[in-house]
Amino acid sequence: MRLSRSLSITSLSGLPLWEEESLPVQDLLLFEVSWEVTNKVGGIYTVIQTKAKITVDEWGENYIMMGPYYEHNFKTQVEKCEPPNQAIKAAMDSLNNNGCQVHFGRWLIEGSPYVILFDIGAAAWNLDRWKGDLWNACSIGLPYHDREANDSLIFGSLVAWFFKELTDQLQDKPNVIAHFHEWQAGTGLVLSRSRKIPLATVFTTHATLLGRYLCAGNADFYNNLDKFNIDQEAGERQIYHRYCLERAAVHCAHVFTTVSQITAVEANHMLHRQPDVVTPNGLNVRKFSAMHEFQNLHSMNKAKIQEFVRGHFYGHLDFNLEKTLFFFIAGRYEFSNKGADLFLESLSRLNYLLRVHKSDVTVVVFFIMPAKTNNFNVESLKGQAVRKQLWDTAQSVKEKFGKRLYESLLRGEIPDMSKILDRDDFTIMKRAIYATQRHTFPPVTTHNMLDDSTDPILSNIRRIGLFNGRNDRVKIVFHPEFLSSTSPLLPMDYEEFVRGCHLGVFPSYYEPWGYTPGECTVMGIPSVTTNLSGFGCFMEEHVSDPSEYGIYIVDRRFRSADESCNQLTQFLFSFCQQSRRQRIIQRNRTERLSDLLDWRYLGRFYMHARHLALSRSFPGKFKMDHLNLAPTQGFRYPRPASVPPSPSASLHSTPHHSDEEDDDTYDEEEEAEKDRQNIKAPFTLVACFPRCTLSSVIRPLYFSWLF
């Protein structure tokens, strides 16, 4: 039975409409301030870049981003132009005339938003004076040796100066909203509020500063949230001044937001303020007009990965590539935070299970995590060269064979196979076969590592003994470099690689949101996440049975490490038991969830935060009933219609299944239509975050000098 196209492919038909009254954007200016505007450092860059289009669609020329100026980034990403607003131009001129350098242009991304970029180096001569201003404002001192903190102070001082000049020009109309991301931009918020600049301010933390440091030090973070001596922990890590800047920004903002519920819990303990709104991270979801085009892309890119595997495992290619699954983990090289430790241990157990059950499935696992290297591994390069040589040999023999067969048929003769291939052809083929012989295991890493003996991934591979042996059903390839389509080893960019894999595995311990499983979902690739990641919590809330939609959520919050490892191993083993048809059905369901992550839906939470900020900063002009907030509905995907009602009935009793199994019980179009009709709306913006009570919505600001 043909798998037809999902009804949810072309629209967000199952999502409830946004009911909140829209803001008069023509009478407002919205500024979004971040260190990562045109400056890629981490995941915040992705948030800002992907959200730009829907924000520009809503605000038009009244939306401007602000960030630091870097000459290379400006020349390659920004089209210089004049500000369309005379008040903005006058404010920029005032800064430029006082020895600073401010640049304006359009950021060449989707939506083409306006950007204002401040040259940090050109204003560094003011650093000592601005340190004094910061101390006088909030008694926070910055050490001279912390370059990042000093740069953030220069940036924040320029932003506050700009807002002062701008609001003096505008007087009372239009009103200004300033949205600040992370502590590097938070200094501008603190200084703006201390100077009583008339702004509506929003501050978003994507991960608390101290939380990331504590988790990187292998602390039992979530079980001890209420036990940490925050000031002492920050002081011991020599980041107390940064922590103070972050906390001051949190308490100065009219509205404080985080990107997930798990981060909201963390922020409540680390920063001592409950978030007013949770603003999940989204993506720009592009749907294909052709039926199941993403399935075709999976097949095409899987073939490219198979070619790499043929070369990397030459001489040991005794497994069937058609029954080989590709798993991967990708991200920053934070061994424990990203869950690489748990993943490696579960792979050891998975290897044991596959061997005990005599499974004919082989799993090739890729670790895509950038680390310090000095070059490609010679064995890896040799493998691709051997593969190419074999291909050329096969093509040469095939050409001769085809020509002789053609001539024989033209003469009306049945070809004599012993004559079509002569002795020289057999000699060439034998030499090619001998060239593929290898007396060592295929390498577990594609590069020469600088810290081979102490590298966490390689050390754990040695501990669990997965060296790509012939009897191992789990093979490992550690690629310590970002993927690139120009690589001589694996010439694919990240999106192509993800589409070609079968499963993304991200068992993170500390992941405020987690874009990697979200990107997998949008591409229709199943993934493993945890209930300690923002993405995992979001999916648990929005999907009745995430695993049936290809979202496997490992419990790392309420289980021991060993129990979590066993759960992850069972997820991986169950996935290996699926037939090809079952994986196709699951990918259809996974892709159907992409609407959940679309900024067209998630952007509403940012709209709510702005409206709330305006009602608090300009209560005479913008009203919001704090005690009777209108419910802004979300939605919840039901259990897929074709899945048995009992969870136990959906478990496989044997590791082998027919591709024709359940052939008459699944219809993609019918199931998608039932899901769309059965989507439920169980929560509201306030009610869905139990820690964000109404008292926090109307809380007074903490610093008395702000009034």
SS3 for 47-58, per residue?
HHHHHHHHHHHH
Print the domain residue range for 84: 25-278
- 369 and 450 part of one domain: yes
- 346 and 426 part of one domain: no
Of 440, 473, 505, the position where a domain reaches its end is 440
Q: What's the CA gap between 47 and 62, in Å, rounded?
A: 20
- Looking at residue 289, its pLDDT comes to 57
What are the tens digits of pLDDT across the range 126-180?
999 999 999 999 999 999 999 999 999 999 999 999 999 999 999 878 899 999 9
Q: Is residue 585 part of a domain?
A: yes
> In terms of C-beta density within 10 A (0-12 exposed, 13-18 middle, 19 or more buried), how is residue 60 classed?
exposed
Q: How many percent of the chain have pLDDT more than 70?
A: 86
- Looking at residue 687, its pLDDT comes to 36
Of 278, 309, 344, the position where a domain reaches its end is 278
For the chain, give the mean pLDDT: 86
Please choose, from the candidates 118, 115, 120, the residue with its C-alpha nearest in 3D space to the C-alpha of residue 79: 115
- 254 and 363 part of one domain: no
Tokens (6 digits) for 25 = 């954007």
What are the tens digits of pLDDT across the range 632-650?
445 567 777 667 654 444 4
Which pLDDT band holds residue 290 (cuts at 50, 70, 90)?
A: low
Of 593, 621, 637, the position where a domain reaches its end is 593
Q: Is residue 614 part of a domain?
A: no
- 420 and 447 part of one domain: no
- 153 and 253 part of one domain: yes
- 393 and 337 part of one domain: no
- 76 and 147 part of one domain: yes
- Cβ contacts of residue 413 below 8 Å, gap of 6+? none
Q: Is residue 65 part of a domain?
A: yes
Q: Is residue 670 part of a domain?
A: no
What are the tens digits of pLDDT across the range 54-90?
999 999 999 999 999 999 999 999 999 999 999 999 9
Residue 557 has phi, psi (to 5 degrees) of: -95, -40
Q: Is residue 553 part of a domain?
A: yes
Q: Is residue 189 part of a domain?
A: yes
CATH number at residue 176: 3.40.50.2000
Q: Is residue 345 part of a domain?
A: yes
Mean pLDDT confidence for 336-340 = 94
Q: Half-sphere exposure of 426 toward its Cβ, with a 13 Å CA cutoff?
A: 7
- 468 and 564 part of one domain: yes
Q: Is residue 684 part of a domain?
A: no
Q: What's the CA gap between 404 and 414, in Å, rounded?
A: 11
- Cβ contacts of residue 503 below 8 Å, gap of 6+? 325, 326, 327, 328, 525, 526, 527, 528, 572, 575
Q: Half-sphere exposure of 704 toward its Cβ, with a 13 Å CA cutoff?
A: 0
Cβ atoms within 10 Å of 150's Cβ, excluding its own = 18
- 263 and 372 part of one domain: no
- 370 and 465 part of one domain: yes
Quote the Cα angle for 94-96-97, to 5°. Answer: 65
* Total domains in the fold of the chain: 3
- 77 and 53 part of one domain: yes
How distant is the alpha carbon of residue 147 from its chain centre? Answer: 28
- 408 and 301 part of one domain: no
What are the tens digits of pLDDT across the range 12-62?
344 444 455 578 888 899 999 999 999 988 889 999 999 999 999 999 999
- Looking at residue 413, its pLDDT comes to 82
Q: How many percent of the chain have pLDDT more than 90?
A: 69
Residue 666: pLDDT above 50? yes
Sheet holding 503-505, edge to edge: 474-479, 362-368, 324-330, 503-505, 527-530, 551-554
pTM to 2 decimal places = 0.85
What are the tens digits of pLDDT across the range 105-140?
999 999 999 999 999 999 999 999 999 999 999 999
